[in-house]
C-alpha cells in the first residue's frame, strides 16, 4: 500500500501548472549560405552549381551568379544549420573536384 504517500519525483498538478515560461519559445536560428566571387571560377560552373544544389532556374542562377560577380558576394539561400553546412560542403566539394577556387560560406542570419 503506497497510495497515501506523495512521490517526491512526481510534482502535483498545481506546481506543474504554476511554472510560467519566462521566455517565448525560440525558433531555431537560420543560416545564410553565401557565395563569394573570385577571378577564376568560370561563370557557367557557378550557374551549374546554383541549378544543381540550390534548385534555381537557369535564369535565376544567371542572375545570382552575376550579382556575386559584380558585388563580390550574394546570399544563395537560407537554411537550418545542418542543411546550410551540407550545402556549403557540397559546393566546396564540386569546386574542389574541378579545381576551381570557388568559395562558399555560411553566416547566422
In angstroms, the Cα distances linking 57 to 14, 33, 62, 63, 67 are 56, 18, 9, 10, 15
Grid coordinates of 45: 560552373
Residue from 69, 75, 83, 86 binding ligand TYC (CB under 6 A):
69
Alpha-helical runs (H) found in the chain: 13-18, 43-54, 58-71, 81-97
Q: Is 102 in the site for ligand TYC (CB under 6 A)?
A: yes
- Applying CB under 6 A, the site for ligand TYC has a residue count of 13
Tell me the Cα Rg of the chain: 24
Q: Is 89 in the site for ligand TYC (CB under 6 A)?
A: no
Q: Is 106 in the site for ligand TYC (CB under 6 A)?
A: no
Residue from 33, 34, 41, 56 binding ligand TYC (CB under 6 A):
41
Residue from 32, 38, 75, 83 binding ligand TYC (CB under 6 A):
38
Residues found near ligand TYC in the complex (CB under 6 A): 35-39, 41-43, 46, 65, 68-69, 102
Amino acid at each position: 500500500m503506497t497510495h497515501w504517500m506523495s512521490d517526491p519525483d512526481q510534482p502535483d498538478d498545481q506546481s506543474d501548472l504554476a511554472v510560467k515560461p519566462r521566455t517565448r519559445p525560440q525558433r531555431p536560428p537560420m543560416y545564410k549560405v553565401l557565395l563569394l566571387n573570385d577571378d577564376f571560377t568560370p561563370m557557367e560552373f557557378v550557374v551549374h552549381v546554383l541549378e544543381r544544389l540550390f534548385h534555381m532556374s537557369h535564369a535565376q542562377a544567371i542572375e545570382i551568379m552575376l550579382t556575386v560577380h559584380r558585388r563580390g558576394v550574394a546570399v544563395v539561400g537560407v537554411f537550418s544549420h545542418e542543411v546550410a553546412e551540407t550545402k556549403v560542403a557540397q559546393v566546396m566539394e564540386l569546386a574542389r573536384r574541378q579545381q576551381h577556387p570557388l568559395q562558399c560560406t555560411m553566416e547566422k542570419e
